[in-house]
Structure 1
Amino acid sequence: IYDIAKEVLKVYPDLLKMSQEKAISICRDFAFNMILKEIKEDLERFRVIYDSWYSEKSLYEKGKIDKVLSILKEKGLIYEKEGALWFKATAFGDEKDRVIIRSNGEYTYFASDIAYHYEKFNERKFDLCINIWGIDHHGYVPRIKGVLKGLGIDPERLKIILIQMVNLIEKGKLKSMSTRKGEFVTLKELMDDVGVDAIRFIFLSRSLEAGLDFDVELAKKQSQENPVYYVQYAHARICSVFKKAKEKGIEKIENTKINWALLSGKEEIELMKLLEEFPSVVEASALYFAPYKITYYLLDLAKNFHEFYTNYRILGEDENLTHTRLALCLACKNVFKNGLELLGVSAPEKM
């Protein structure tokens, strides 16, 4: 708040001489734009890009809320009680009816949520909407699904994903955080500390239903204990193999010299079997909204590749065997790169 106030005074040095109403309006708009700009910059750095940013305020300005409330009123799904306007949420399985407009005339968040979802389905013609909410909002699910049903929209077209909270571990201890006390770690601070790749990979290494303990020290380690390093190192290792192959005069893999029957070792066969699974892993990850399936798969592939690399000589005397093992390495390299790209994680060529 102090930082924003300093910036406002730089732009509006006469702010304190203005009327209270005008000054508050200027401060509100300035703070909104400044904070939103920082959020967008942080998300872009985190490789999260939104195609559209939607203003809740526009729902009021364009009359979207009044429009949807009139529809609910026509359907007999809202009523007045104690000076407030209520939605008959109990008719759709909720534990109690919900307030849309308070007795003092203020609209609740529920009012704008109703209008926003109605506009998405009925005006912007979404087939499926996916909402990602914190687990503490689980009680909100029945009312939003109920109001969609009341509006004649199939509730199954709204997929609500509830995610668990993240615990931050520093030096083996749980970091205490409280937004009320102003004690918290921002995404920007975490990116500065451990890097984007580590955060994305580790965040995506758990199912949505499972909690996550984010170990800051582990995320910074350059060893096989660090999952993202372990996978990225496998990709970099393969790039190193091809660099050495060029130094030995092998500019490219010759298909006529590939003979898959030459790969009969346990690790080689396991690696080929794993590579064949990749398309089905990606498909399952998409169908079940479970990117962690790709993370688990890449860790398993990295483990098998490192074992293969340790136990077999890739650039050997047998020309056909060399080209065949290089072909296997190339397949692994492509899968590592594609898998990491799907997770929004880089695939470095050297580490």
Structure 2
Amino acid sequence: MTPADLAAVISDCVHTAIRSGRMSAEVPPQIRVERPPHRHHGDYSTNVALQLAKSAGLPARTVAEVLAPLVSLANGVAKAEVAGPGFLNITLESGAIGALARDIVLAGDAYGRTDRLGGLRLNLEFVSANPTGPVHIGGARWAVVGDVLARLLKAAGAEVSREYYFNDAGVQIDRFARSLLAAAEGSPAPEDGYSGAYIEDIAAAVLHRQPGALRLPEAEALAAFRAEGTELMFDEIKASLAAFGTRFDVYFNEKDLHDQGDLDAAVARLREGGHVFDAAGAVWLRTTDFGDDKDRVLVKGDGSWTYFTADCAYYLNKRGRGFERVVIMLGADHAGYVGRMRAMAACFGDDPDTHLEILIGQLVNLVEDGRPVRMSKRAGTVLTLDDLLEAVGVDAARYALARASVDAMIDLDIDLLTRQSNDNAVHYVQYAHTRPCAVQRRAEEAGIGKGAPEDFDPSRLTHEREADLLGMLAEFPQVVATAATLREPHRVPHYLEQLAGTYHRFYDACRVLPLAGEDPDDLTRARLWLTEASRLVLRNGLQLLGVSAPERM
């Protein structure tokens, strides 16, 4: 029985109490069921009585005393006891606890998936690095967090489209083209341009594609380096992200917004809403009406568009594609965008709390021998995703970046992340996955199977370490749903580390396979089901992180 199953049982009991006239109350939309800190308090605890007390007009303890006998009579429940100001501590029957092992094995890949966010259609934009250089290490953080969050949202039932916004319009692309042309000519980079070995590499690749580019008039040469160079750079960005295990459903070009007239349409829509005004030769959006610190320019005095206008058109484009919620991940240097973006959504007639969500992530530092690593081999002073992968590998990098809350700066220690020891969190969890794999291999070699589902006896799983492990396995669907709902992917690796520790303690205390000369029995088979269930949850959790689940280490 999972916490969700027990929450449904408690909800039924609340409705029974109301229908029978034992109390009158408003049933809370969500009933919380948690593992108590101490096992002697039971298998689970709920504060539902405290939630009901106000609407019932009764002390919480009285409400708990009404519910306790009803919960105690439910299938799979051994007893429900009132504690403190109104908590219910619930102990399950051993069979109800142990049956979870079979349920997990039969569910397989589906265990951990829920419909918590069912019906939500969401556009998730992340990374979106400018195509003027490789993905830097801050973008690497979003490449992991965005990818893992998309996996979690889908596991929680949402329909998610992963999107990369390709900024291929604007002055930064002009500077990039001038930088490439200068490198091809052997000249110094423009004062406001880009430098680094990657610029020379891209410039050489453009000349390989168009050997006569340097003989063209300057305007045509710049156009050639702009078009070819941007395409080559973006191909490199895509390749780096693919090597990191991050994929996108849509690559959206900013240039298309300009070519299709989306910016004009967005401004017209905003003007129709009464939020646009003209002043000092420019066109403005009155975002201060919706909490922004100042109004924003849409069209400059020279008739050119601002970046913010493209942001408006892009948001409107996403909403026009039927996405109920637009989620945008930005680095800490873009924190100032939140106010203007929320105001922009309101100007379109949307509710910023419903239709727009902006996540801000903090910086990442790479550390070696206790000192920050500053230089990239290829991109000059900016550390790149490729630098990170070369230093620590995909699994260690993804796990470490997913493990930290996005609102905290992190230092990635190369020495720690390449260490094959329990100090390295990803190694600790992956090693925990190899142990049940090894047990299963030994069982197969000895000709011992876990038997058919109908022969599984869950009541044999009564050891304290077995109960601890089953309790941890039961938490997985709730962890996934909560991580998705709160946009906190770091909850998953933290859970996996707790599960790994719990499995190691079970492994040390409970012999799964019989000793030489002994015959397997019902307990052997029950523990093989529990072993397989543990392996599946560890694997499912690592898959949500995009991290491999090795069978041997």
TM-score category, normalised to shorter length: over 0.9
Equivalent of 1:108, from 303, 306, 329? 306
TM-score (structure 2 length as normaliser): 0.61
Q: Which residue of 2 aligns with 1:144?
A: 341
- 2: CA distance, partners of 1:73 / 1:149: 13
- 2: CA distance, partners of 1:141 / 1:256: 56
Equivalent of 2:248, from 24, 39, 50? 50
How do residues 132-171 of structure 1 correspond to structure 2 at under 5 angstroms? 132-156=329-353, 157-171=355-369
Question: Given the alignment of the two structures, is residue 311 of structure 1 paired with residue 509 of structure 2, yes or no?
Answer: yes
Equivalent of 2:497, from 299, 303, 311? 299
- 2: CA distance, partners of 1:314 / 1:78: 71
Q: Which residue of 2 aligns with 1:189?
A: 387
Check whether the contact 1:245–1:315 (CA below 8 A) recurs between aligned residues. yes
Q: Which residue of 1 aligns with 2:535?
A: 333
Classify the secondary structure of the residue corresponding to 1:54: strand
- 1: CA distance, partners of 2:286 / 2:382: 38
Classify the secondary structure of the residue corresponding to 2:335: helix
- 1: CA distance, partners of 2:321 / 2:452: 52
How far off its partner does 1:337 sit? 1.0
How far off its partner does 1:103 sit? 2.3
Check whether the contact 2:241–2:247 (CA below 8 A) recurs between aligned residues. yes
The one-letter code of the counterpart of 2:349 is G
- 2: CA distance, partners of 1:233 / 1:103: 62
- 1: CA distance, partners of 2:419 / 2:505: 21
- What is the CA RMSD across the aligned residues, in angstroms? 1.9
Classify the secondary structure of the residue corresponding to 1:28: helix
Equivalent of 1:246, from 441, 444, 447? 444
Classify the secondary structure of the residue corresponding to 1:270: helix
Provide closer, same or farther for how the CA distance between residues 170 and 283 of structure 1 changes in structure 2, counting only shifts above 3 A.
same
How far off its partner does 1:312 sit? 2.5
Larger Rg: 2
- 2: CA distance, partners of 1:253 / 1:204: 38
How do residues 1-351 of structure 1 correspond to structure 2 at under 5 angstroms? 1-121=199-319, 123-156=320-353, 157-176=355-374, 182-255=380-453, 258-316=456-514, 317=518, 319-351=521-553
The one-letter code of the counterpart of 2:540 is N
- Spell out, residue by residue over 1:138-197, the C-alpha distance to the aligned partner (whole angstroms, 9 max, x if none): 21111111111111122121111111111211111223369xx93122112211221111
How far off its partner does 1:252 sit? 4.2
- 2: CA distance, partners of 1:211 / 1:8: 38
- 1: CA distance, partners of 2:283 / 2:544: 46
How far off its partner does 1:257 sit? 5.7
Classify the secondary structure of the residue corresponding to 1:96: coil
Classify the secondary structure of the residue corresponding to 1:169: strand
Classify the secondary structure of the residue corresponding to 1:291: coil
How far off its partner does 1:256 sit? 6.0
The one-letter code of the counterpart of 2:437 is C
Q: Which runs of 5+ in 2 are unaligned?
A: 1-198
Going by fraction, where is helix more abundant, 1 or 2?
Answer: 1
Q: Which runs of 5+ in 1 are unaligned?
A: none
- Spell out, residue by residue over 1:189-234, the C-alpha distance to the aligned partner (whole angstroms, 9 max, x if none): 2112211111111111122222222111111111111111111111
Check whether the contact 2:287–2:347 (CA below 8 A) recurs between aligned residues. no
Classify the secondary structure of the residue corresponding to 2:298: strand
Determine what percentage of the aligned residue pairs are the same residue. 40
How far off its partner does 1:255 sit? 4.3
Check whether the contact 2:428–2:497 (CA below 8 A) recurs between aligned residues. yes
Check whether the contact 1:85–1:101 (CA below 8 A) recurs between aligned residues. yes
Larger mean CA deviation between 42-51 and 96-105 belongs to 96-105
- 1: CA distance, partners of 2:288 / 2:454: 70
Check whether the contact 1:8–1:27 (CA below 8 A) recurs between aligned residues. yes
Check whether the contact 1:93–1:146 (CA below 8 A) recurs between aligned residues. yes
TM-score (structure 1 length as normaliser): 0.94
How far off its partner does 1:294 sit? 1.2
Check whether the contact 2:399–2:547 (CA below 8 A) recurs between aligned residues. yes
Larger mean CA deviation between 313-322 and 144-153 belongs to 313-322
- 2: CA distance, partners of 1:205 / 1:177: 25
